[in-house]
Amino acid sequence: MIDKSRRVTGPAGPRDTRRHNLSLVLREVVAAEASSRANLAEATGLTKATVSSLVSELIEAGLLVEGGQDTAGRIGRPGLMLSLNGDSVAGIGLEINVDYLAVCVLDLLGRVRHRRVVRTDNRLSPPDEVINAVARLGRQAIGKAEQQGMLPGGVTVAVPGLVELGEGTLLTAPNLGWRRMPLAAILAERMRRPAPKARIEHQPRVRIENEANLGALGELWEGRGRAWGDFCHISGEIGVGLGIVMGGALLRGSGGLAGEFGHIQVDRDGPRCPCGSLGCLERLVGQEALLATAGIDAELATSIGDPKDGGAAALVARARAGDGRTLAALAEAGDVLGAACGTLVNLLNPATIVLGGIFAPLAPWILEPFRDGLRRCSLATRWQAPRVEVSELGPEAAVRGAASSALRDILADPYLMPRGSKEVS
């Protein structure tokens, strides 16, 4: 569970101490939403002089802004309130999924500054073209951030497959048919803008991460996840993913490959999966299985319904219209998914299960059979029923989590702040 990308490799020096304390102050401001220097000193245990110096550096770097007064009725001279600077740095989230590409630009106050979804079947194009398309979306997003006066702080790319811990390597994306690819490095290269166009020298760092993990982190950081305790977030797309959050952190497994929920075997005699196994969950309840069972042509599926429902748009439209075959397909899928979540509950006993991705817009039709399947197939449910929540971010959770993750990297290490206007020194 060691994230190699963050491992300290040499001896620690004063710069590491400074980095640590800058991050401590920042995270305290995040936790308190806004805070005065005096409160920050109290909360962090640092001296007021040290806090003042750290705060100056963070203001200088564009991470904090000062304004407003601490009116919490404390004794003494009221301190000026510090909060995160929402106008300085942008987190860029990108997503490569099976049937769409997405991008999201987020600022430090959690405001979405730019978003775009391009529906396209990425299985039909060579990986090279898909990567070029996503790099183009990334460059556009950086341009949008700069137009709004912000510096691109980092890029995180959500991918529908296994990602090697800390290496930036995609091991396999079964539904795309992609295998072993140094995707972070390739994307960094292709997003590099020619010198005259770049307003700054800084080239943002590019990381890749499993989309289901980012979906869960999106819920935790940008959605309602903090209220859920330990939770399992199910991302329904063409594949079905899982992000497990325990104690406020992602459970990654020993090699970073935990959460491959879509490939648990739910029917030994079930259909063949591109992963090589039989009867994988996503072959029964993933988007394509749902469309097929509902009798909706894949071509047609992209042209009807509300785009905000993502790949579920056609299913939602048909279900709303009361189409019997669609309703039956959703009821059956809800039951199978609930039973599979019974396995999750048996193994992990989470406080909350979250229906995310396309399962969010489909919740009105799958929720009841889901609860039945869950109850039937998990022992603990009779004693401690997990809370079942429907994601509000839905299919957008992963790309939102990706953008947020790029910003969190800077909060954890303020020296990653881009050197555009002012430099953190």
Q: Which of 380, 388, 390, 412 binds a copy of itself (CB under 8 A)?
A: 380
Tell me how far, at minimum, the Cβ of 311 lies from a copy of itself, in Å.
Answer: 21
* Residue 252 binds a copy of itself, judged by CB under 8 A: yes
Q: Which of 24, 257, 317, 412 binds a copy of itself (CB under 8 A)?
A: 257
Q: Which stretch binds a copy of itself (CB under 8 A): 109-117, 129-137, 167-175, 292-300?
A: 167-175
* Residue 379 binds a copy of itself, judged by CB under 8 A: yes
Residue span 109-148 as binding mask against a copy of itself, x where in contact by CB under 8 A, dash where not: ----------------------------------------
User: Which CB atom, from 118 or from 347, has the smaller least distance to a copy of itself?
Assistant: 347
* Residue 374 binds a copy of itself, judged by CB under 8 A: no
* Residue 255 binds a copy of itself, judged by CB under 8 A: yes
Cα 240 to Cα 278: distance, rounded to the nearest angstrom: 15
Distances (CA, A) of 262 to 259, 280, 424: 8, 6, 43
* Residue 327 binds a copy of itself, judged by CB under 8 A: no
Distances (CA, A) of 360 to 346, 391, 395: 23, 6, 8
State the residue for tokens 């500054």.
Answer: 113
Tell me how far, at minimum, the Cβ of 244 lies from a copy of itself, in Å.
Answer: 8
H helices of 161-269, in order, are 183-191, 211-222
State the sign of the Cα–Cα–Cα–Cα dihedral 74, 77, 78, 83: negative
Residue 157's CB: how many other CB atoms inside 10 A? 31
Number of Cα atoms under 13 Å in the Cβ half of residue 368: 5
Structural contact between residues 41 and 47, judged by C-beta atoms closer than 8 angstroms? yes
User: Which CB atom, from 277 or from 302, has the smaller least distance to a copy of itself?
Assistant: 277
State the residue for tokens 């806090």.
Answer: 51
Cα 294 to Cα 190: distance, rounded to the nearest angstrom: 40
* Residue 171 binds a copy of itself, judged by CB under 8 A: yes
Greatest pairwise CA separation for the chain in angstroms: 73
Question: Which chain residues interact with a copy of itself by CB under 8 A?
Answer: 1, 162, 164, 171-172, 174, 229-230, 242, 244, 246-247, 251-261, 263-268, 275-277, 339, 342-344, 346-351, 376-380, 382-384
